[in-house]
Structure 1
């Protein structure tokens, strides 16, 4: 046998910052990050902004232009891109290629930055475009929703949907930095405010019992839009997410997906609803279903399953939906299991619960028991 072998590793490092009014003239956080490493090479900054953010913050573009007027070594691309937000923007490749063309047109090179401001869908899309342009240009995320600030925006995944399959096209590439500006949360709709909290419930259930107890104790405050409580939720959830990424399989080369607890059905019900059901809403239902299944399987105490459902409801979530109803083996949501298996690479690996704060992986789900779990949730 004649061959040459090489092994190498690549170190990734990025910081997640927490602030208010990121582009205020007296907030030096973003400016200091950009200027802390001076190379002498001129750099450009291209902004891509979620149209929903622009609608709620109409002065944002002018604030950005004023902020960058006096940062040495950086040239702001005056033509700030505004693209539609929400999951629909990921369902075609149109916006993806629009960003690619802008990178080419404005000469955004590997020393320059693509900055995305918006919800998780816009961040996924822009991150994917950044990852494949010039084989990777520097990407900065500014998440503007609870869901993106505490979960998707602080991670390493980028992507778009393809042929009805969520995130079928994508990459694992970390951003160079994430800036969580809490002020953006103040203009969210009640639905968007609530939606992101399901990911906090998820990570607490599989990793941190104390955090779940905090969520339980503060559910009324969180549902009532208490900002101090939300800031704690965002920061704690983001920290747990980053700890997981550093845990040994950040690019998900294996079949284990602990952070996808509740997601096999959530992804499918999003698609079945034409993405009218928000991701966080679908995840809440998926968490409820898998918690009920864990109980009926004999792994989780019934009292714990009922507590999980009660906390989800206290936060304002529905725990089931007609599209989540499992009547038999032909129920549409069950197709999510096969798609999840394909996404993982062939072996089905599902995270269930042994207790609150402790997850366990299984490699098969019983359809009859899933049907029973679906009906149990209806009675809750």
Structure 2
């Protein structure tokens, strides 16, 4: 029986993503590909108590349909949490989303037409590229570290600019204060929306956090925030990903527009998860668990980089990230194809992510992203040993 064809955008996907997502079925595999938190950091007992209390004490909020824009108590708390001197936020500035990924999807729905132009920090987060793929946008890469990078030129004529300033996924790069200020200035000059995706903003290991671009933008105005920055956050790295709680902080008219799009997406985010999120913030649980998360991940970052120094120093170049969840390594041999390396690595029992999936044009095939938060130091060291075997085998094979 002949049936209608699937949508055209599905032909523009890649098989690399499916390869590393299905790799978890391989027995004995060391997974260093995903951006996964360590389950030992989840405060299981505390969350269990909060869930029980939410149902018992707030059954309507927890179990009924929630407002599309989110529970008022959680929106108020997020507004208070992100308000600083010189920036006033209210619930009108806040939308609660079903994880950070829904926020990306909603932004695509309200800002993109087929063929729209996006200025994206390069390399770019795979999840964002996947979220916007059905809209078939065109990308203008932003290499913020380049000496000739001009933010005004980069933001002129685009629907929005996309950045992950705190320990970018995939590169692990921390965007400097001067670069943040320049991007915010360019957004105000050009009138372009500036998306600040911040899933790793609490994961600073070596220094105090830099000001958010949202905060820098607000310093130019008075009163309720109405600027061009669209700030996105999530509880996935700060508490537990299974709660599926994220948020958008932006100008009220942007929030209203995103609510319209969310209405046709999931109608509402889980009220139970929202209530748990609210009570986790209000009780200080998120602040309580953070020091342990930072200590654990800092040690694992150091263990990974030490193993890389011992085994991969002659094959790859990388920088030690000062936060986040990833190390970005680039092969010294220009002939290295890390799509091929992935398949060789899987044969050796380790999984990493090749750079091609972070490039909208699929041209960058020389780098890899390595996660250090999921595995303990011994597994990280063994994973790098296996990766080294795979890398040398890949170089030895004719391409």
For the criterion TM > 0.5, the same-fold answer is: no
TM-score normalised by structure 2 residue count: 0.30
Give the structure, 1 or 2, with the largest relative contact order (CA under 8 Å, sep 6 or more).
2
TM-score when normalising by structure 1: 0.31
